[in-house]
Structure 1
Amino acid sequence: MQPDPRVAPGWQYETPPRTGWWYLIPLFTCGYGTPVMVMVAALKLRSRLHAALALGYFAAVLALVVARATASTGYDSDDENAVVGFVSLVLWITGTIHVAALQMRVRERFFRRAAERHHGFAHYAPLGTGVDPALAAAQWRAARREEARQLQATQPAMANELMIGRPDLPGRQYDDGGLVDVNHVPAEWLHRYLTIDRDLAERIVEARDRHNGFTTAEELVVYCDGLTPAKLDLFRDRLVFVPR
């Protein structure tokens, strides 16, 4: 089955980690569950720093447990009890905020690694930077299309071997960013990959057969009834013209 060309390749086959509930552990345990969740995040992120912080949280929780046990015997002063209560509140709030931040970092790491594995995109915009991940992926695909076009222009034999612009062919492994070879792809694939009406896709196929293929995008407007320059601009960047 061919993947959806509008989705970054490979991402639809991976499930992001479900970390949205992590902050609830320290929140509902008054901070006592913080060491466990920070250690889980440290293992996910492979971070020695956060592993050390998890141990620090554990030591703080242990100290609070001992202090509360001592306070229950009635030997501590009111001031000492107030200090214990204040430290406990700080641990509760700090732990919840820290775990909430870590759960975002774990998801960010997943998407970055997924992008790098599936198409080598090393500049994936991390979450929280103000850059929409979908926009970053679209920008990468546009750059990938430009690279594939250069390959088609300079090394046509290799481009043919990589099946650039041929999503309809089985066994293709090279990701060309979503290019479509208008001169060879069947109407069904034009309809699917260019997101155009089926009737328009069929008219494009009829026109290319009459004129033995196209050489430029502008020829589609000239020879295909119903295709306006405005409509062409919606998918012009995804077209490639391999000679027939």
Structure 2
Amino acid sequence: MVDPQVIAANLATVRDQIAQAALACARDPLLINLVAVSKSQPAAAIRAAYACGQRDFGENYVQEWQQKANDLADLTDLRWHFLGHLQRNKVKQVIGKVHLLHCVDDMQGADEMARCAWQNQTNQDVLLQVNLADESSKRGCTEADADLFVEVLARSPGLKLRGLMLLPPYDLDVEAVRPWFGRLRALSERLGRDHGRAGNLPKAGQWWLSMGMSHDFAAAIAQGATHVRVGTAIFGERQALTG
């Protein structure tokens, strides 16, 4: 059951926490993009958040996203973010239809994304997912391979590399996670210095950083996050969708 009043209150709390975190490190709160992670939440929950001014929503699964996009087609200024691993056989269903892809996580997938973008004569903003901890359970390029991925993406027609995305090792202790956020920022600054001369790549300090979730987004903002992905703190626990 969706309670719009609860979602409105939660969203107001999260926005206030984002503003406080940004001001604490002398950043402009308006430059922090809140992506409301709506996977496993019904379309009605998205409508409730939308009614409160939320426009950016994140999904992980193509079929679920397509159904919601169809159900919410009347919300013409809604911006979809795709967060999960995108299988190569589903790339063409997503490229050019979402605001931002956070999940370029392997070379084959990047090649397929570029091919589909070129065929469809569209441009797609993307983030490179980096697996800093080299966890076998998570996708993403290693820190050592980041330069190669950046060079490939810089040559990929139709793809516009905007920055990096991080899924750090999960830990409820925010202080244990904070160093991973700092490492991603440092990596983005180095990549910007080394590759920013290319006209289609961000310069140092201009890279988007997608990092931080419900329990640790304040720490991520302190370390330079430009996009925070918040689900549970807005919508509550995920629901089992039917239909």
Give the TM-score, by structure 1 length: 0.21
Say which one has the larger Rg. Answer: 1
Larger fraction in helix: 1
Query: Which is bigger in relative contact order (C-alpha 8 A, separation at least 6)?
Result: 2
TM-score, with length taken from structure 2? 0.21
More strand by share: 2
